[in-house]
Amino acid sequence: MKKLGFGTMRLPLLNPEDPASIDHEQFKEMTDLFLERGFVYFDTAYPYHQEHSEEAVREALVKRHPRDSFLLADKMPIIRVTSADDYPRYFEEQLERCGVEYFDYYLLHNMGRDRYENTKKFGGFAFVENLKKEGKIRKFGFSFHDDAETLEMILSEHPEVDFVQLQLNYLDWNSAVAQSGKCYETAVHHGKKVMVMEPVKGGTLAQLPEEAMEVFRAFYKDEPVMPSPASLAIRYAATLPATEIVLSGMSSVSQLEDNTSFMSDFKPLSEKEKKLVNEITGILNRTIKVPCTSCKYCLEECPISVNIPEYFGLLNLHAVTGKKTNMYYQRFSMNHAKASECLKCGKCERICPQHIAIRTYLEEFAKLYE
C-alpha cells in the first residue's frame, strides 16, 4: 500500500467560516484523482467538519467507487461515551453515515490517560475487539494524544491492538509535550504499525518562516522542480520504518496534486535531508510560540466560541515576524468571542491534544491585540 492517506478533517469549504459547508464537488474531484494515482486509504471521524465528514465520504467515495477499491478508517468518539450502550449506538450511526457495512480500520478516537480510564470502565476495548470478530471491522487501533508512559501502559494492557495512530512530525519528535519520538519508539517496541497524523503539524511545516525557507531553498536550488516544505515533512514521517500510512488533511486539488506527486514514487529522506530537517527544526523552535495544530477541538468545546486556533495563529505570526495584523483579528473575531471575553472555564484545555495552556496564551494575545 502506498504510504499516503487522505485525512478528511480539512476538506475544501464553500464558506471558510463554516466547517460544515464542505465543497462536495471539489472533494469528489480530489477523491477520484487520489484513487486514480493508486492511493487507497481514507480517514474520517465522527466529529470532523461538525459531524459532516463521514457523510461527505459517503457521497464522494463510497457511493461512487467499488467498496474493494479503497480502505476506510473511522473512529469511535470516546469522549462522548457515557455508558456502554453508547458504543453500539455510535457505531451503527457511523456505518449509516458512511454508507458501508464494515470499516477496514477502526479506532478509539483521541485516547489519553483520562479517556483510557473511561474506556476501560465502559468496556470499549472489548466492544471493538468483538466488532473485529463479527467482521464489522478489519483492524483495530486507537489515535493517541498523551505521553509515552501512558502509551506504554495501554499497549502493555491491550496487546490485541493492531496499530496506533500517533501525532508525528519532525518538529514534535523531541518535544517534551507531544513526545512524537518516544511514542513512536514505544509503538515499535510493542511491534505495532504506526499511522501518522499531523505530519505537517496543522500546516506549520507547510508554511515555514522566511529564515527557514532560505535554508530550504538553498538546499534544493539545483533540483529541476523546487519541492514544497510539506513534502519534506510528509516524507520525514513516511521514512520511519514502522509507518504504514501518513495522513494528510488535504484541502484543495493543488495540495492533493503536490502530495501525491512525491508520494507516488516515494523516496525516503537522504542523510543530507535529515540534516536539513535538524537545521529547520532549530530555526522553528526559536520562533514558534504556541504549538497549536488548528485541530479546532477546543472551539467545539468553548461555550462562547472563542476563536482559539486563529488567535494562536496570529500570536505565532507575531512571534516570527514581529507584526500585528488587526484586520485579521477583526475578521477572525467577527462571529466569535474576543480573547478577553474568555470565561476561564478551562473546557478547552481539557480537550486540547497538545496540552496547551490556552487561557494563559489568550491573556497574552488579548494584551497584544486588544
Residues of the shown chain interacting with ligand SF4 in the complex, contacts defined by CB under 6 A: 292-298, 301-304, 306, 308-309, 312, 342-348, 352, 354, 356, 358-359
Closer residue to ligand SF4 in complex, CB, 72/298: 298
Closer residue to ligand SF4 in complex, CB, 272/344: 344
The angle that helices 253-264 and 229-239 make with each other, rounded to 10 degrees, is: 50
CA distance 49 to 87: 21
The CB-of-178 to ligand SF4 minimum distance in angstroms stands at 10
Closer residue to ligand SF4 in complex, CB, 145/192: 145
The CB-of-163 to ligand SF4 minimum distance in angstroms stands at 23
Closer residue to ligand SF4 in complex, CB, 119/293: 293
Closer residue to ligand SF4 in complex, CB, 131/320: 320
With beta carbons less than 8 A apart as the criterion, state whether 68 and 102 touch. Answer: no
Closer residue to ligand SF4 in complex, CB, 57/348: 348
Query: Is residue 173 helix, strand or coil?
Result: coil
Question: How far is CA 88 from each of CA 50, 93, 120, 124, rounded to the nearest angstrom?
Answer: 21, 8, 16, 10
Angle (nearest 5°) at CA 360 between 359 and 363? 85
The CB-of-307 to ligand SF4 minimum distance in angstroms stands at 9
Looking at the chain, which runs of residues are DSSP E strands? 4-7, 41-43, 71-76, 103-111, 137-144, 163-167, 193-197, 243-248
CA Rg value for the chain: 20
Closer residue to ligand SF4 in complex, CB, 195/306: 306
With beta carbons less than 8 A apart as the criterion, state whether 151 and 111 touch. Answer: no
Beta bridge partners of 195: 165, 245
The CB-of-362 to ligand SF4 minimum distance in angstroms stands at 6
The CB-of-290 to ligand SF4 minimum distance in angstroms stands at 7
The CB-of-339 to ligand SF4 minimum distance in angstroms stands at 8
The CB-of-211 to ligand SF4 minimum distance in angstroms stands at 24
The CB-of-186 to ligand SF4 minimum distance in angstroms stands at 22
Q: If 0-12 CB within 10 Å is exposed, 13-18 middle and 19+ buried, where does residue 82 land?
A: exposed
Number of helices (H), then strands (E), belonging to the chain: the values are 17, 8
Closer residue to ligand SF4 in complex, CB, 116/312: 312
Angle (nearest 5°) at CA 295 between 191 and 322? 115
The type of residue at 258 is: D
The three cell numbers locating residue 219: 538546499
Angle (nearest 5°) at CA 349 between 76 and 298? 60
